[in-house]
């Protein structure tokens, strides 16, 4: 089976390319040959590759920068996603489109299910929600995968930021009033392959729609950072503490949901796919990062 995935240098796309998935060919495309700001080029590129499934991972993911760059965020996350979904539809292909927990307002007490009302509190979250609507309207053969708090040994992510700060600080101050589910890009890649296989071989409408996929369990950003530091200390003896702070003590351009935990029961029920406990996967990523040459972190 051949999967084409956008966002060549991104975390999820890099994890997909690194997968040794027998019988699955992963073709990653990205700038300059695929620029979602030039949507007219999308169809020709996808038609040439002749995939069985299209994975839409490329996005404008700079949450804070998006607040002052709304046009770019919507051009990529809504219009670019729409062009990709339309190209897949013209070629009668299913599309797996990555979306985010930041489509929720964060006011719910428990974890969010797919049918919960959305209410993004940031430009990034709004642009990704509009992308969901655009993809669903352009291609009914869609699997919209909302994930969260993605980290890996690739690209930029919270884990690498924490390890980098820990090189020069004895204490990190991290918000403890935002809850979510840390999710490994490697685990997302494994799930994408399983889901793509089902979509390519089973046309059941129940397998289409919006699904949540995130690391099993939950924590706050401070809890996430504290766990990363515990692995750092175990592996290197370096002890860096994490001080819990409130969101108000860490002002950012974008607002973030106080709670964006995702309930993934629907995916488990319909696909039999579930994700590892988040500490297990985070431990793997931190261990690998600490084994890499310093500048890689
Ligand atoms: N990171 C996270 O915490 C979360 C991410 N997601 C979603 O998952 C998906 C993957 O996220 P992640 O792997 O972290 O992404 P990254 O931020 O690691 O990479 C995003 C990629 O998008 C591509 N991209 C950006 N702008 C353009 C453009 N104008 N045209 C074409 N491609 C572009 C780039 O690929 P290239 O340089 O090859 O062009 C870039 O590497 C995204 O859709 C994101 O919204 C959802 C929840 C959490
Ligand atoms: C670096 C740092 C961040 N923080 C806070 C800021 C913020 O509230 C929280 C997360 O920080 P970041 O900006 O690294 O994470 P952020 O970019 O908000 O991550 C998001 O990325 C997008 C793409 C998604 O889709 C989301 O699921 C989510 O993963 O941690 C601290 O409290 N202390 C720190 O030293
Ligand atoms: Mg970020």
227 catalytic residue (yes or no): no
Note the pLDDT tens digit of each residue in 26-77. 999 999 999 999 988 899 999 999 999 999 999 999 999 999 999 999 999 9
pTM: 0.98
- Interface predicted TM-score (ipTM) of this complex, two decimals: 0.98
Nearest CA to ligand 2 atom 25: 100
Percent helix, percent strand, percent coil in the chain, to nearest 5 = 45, 20, 35
Whether the CB-CB separation of 152 and 186 falls below 8 Å is answered with: yes
pLDDT score recorded for residue 94: 98
Q: What is the C-alpha to C-alpha distance for residues 106 and 261, in angstroms, rounded to an integer?
A: 9
262 membership: H or E segment, kind and range: none
Q: What is the C-alpha to C-alpha distance for residues 124 and 130, in angstroms, rounded to an integer?
A: 10
Q: Report the pLDDT averaged over residues 146-164.
A: 98
Q: How many CB atoms lie within 10 A of CB 134?
A: 22
Note the pLDDT tens digit of each residue in 247-257. 999 999 999 99
Which domains are assigned to the chain? Answer: 2-157+182-216+256-276 (3.40.50.720)
Task: Give the Å distance between the CA of 47 and the centre of ligand 1.
Answer: 22
Task: Give the Å distance between the CA of 256 and the centre of ligand 3.
Answer: 11
Q: Which residues line ligand 1 (CB under 6 A)?
A: 7-12, 30-31, 34-37, 57-61, 76, 98, 100, 128, 147-150, 155, 185
Whether the CB-CB separation of 257 and 124 falls below 8 Å is answered with: no
pLDDT at 290 over 90: yes
């Amino acid at each position: 089976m051949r999967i084409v995935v956008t966002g060549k240098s991104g975390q999820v796309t890099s994890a997909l390319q690194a997968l040794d998935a027998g019988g699955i060919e992963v073709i990653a495309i990205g700038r300059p040959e695929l620029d979602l700001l030039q949507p007219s080029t999308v169809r020709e590129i996808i038609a040439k590759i002749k995939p069985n499934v299209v994975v839409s991972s490329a996005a404008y993911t700079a949450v804070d920068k998006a607040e002052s760059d709304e046009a770019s965020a919507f051009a990529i996350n809504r219009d670019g996603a729409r062009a990709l979904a339309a190209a897949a539809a013209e070629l009668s292909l299913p599309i797996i489109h990555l979306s985010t927990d930041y489509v929720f307002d964060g006011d719910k007490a428990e974890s969010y299910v797919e049918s919960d009302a959305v209410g993004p509190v940031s430009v990034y979250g709004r642009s990704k929600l509009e992308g969901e609507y655009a993809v669903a309207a352009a291609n009914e053969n869609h699997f919209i995968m909302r994930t969260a708090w993605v980290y890996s040994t690739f690209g930029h992510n919270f884990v690498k930021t924490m390890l980098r700060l820990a090189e020069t600080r004895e204490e990190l101050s991290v918000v403890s009033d935002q809850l979510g589910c840390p999710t490994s890009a490697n685990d997302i890649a494994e799930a994408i392959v399983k889901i793509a296989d089902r979509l390519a071989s089973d046309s059941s409408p129940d397998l289409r729609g919006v699904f949540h996929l995130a690391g099993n369990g939950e924590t706050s950003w401070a809890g996430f950072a504290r766990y990363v530091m515990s692995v750092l200390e175990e592996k290197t003896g370096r002890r860096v503490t994490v001080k819990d702070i409130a969101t108000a003590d860490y002002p950012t351009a974008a607002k973030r949901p106080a709670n964006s935990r995702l309930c993934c029961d629907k995916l488990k029920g319909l696909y039999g796919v579930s994700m590892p406990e988040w500490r297990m996967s985070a431990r793997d990523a931190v261990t690998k990062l600490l084994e890499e040459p310093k500048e890689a972190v």
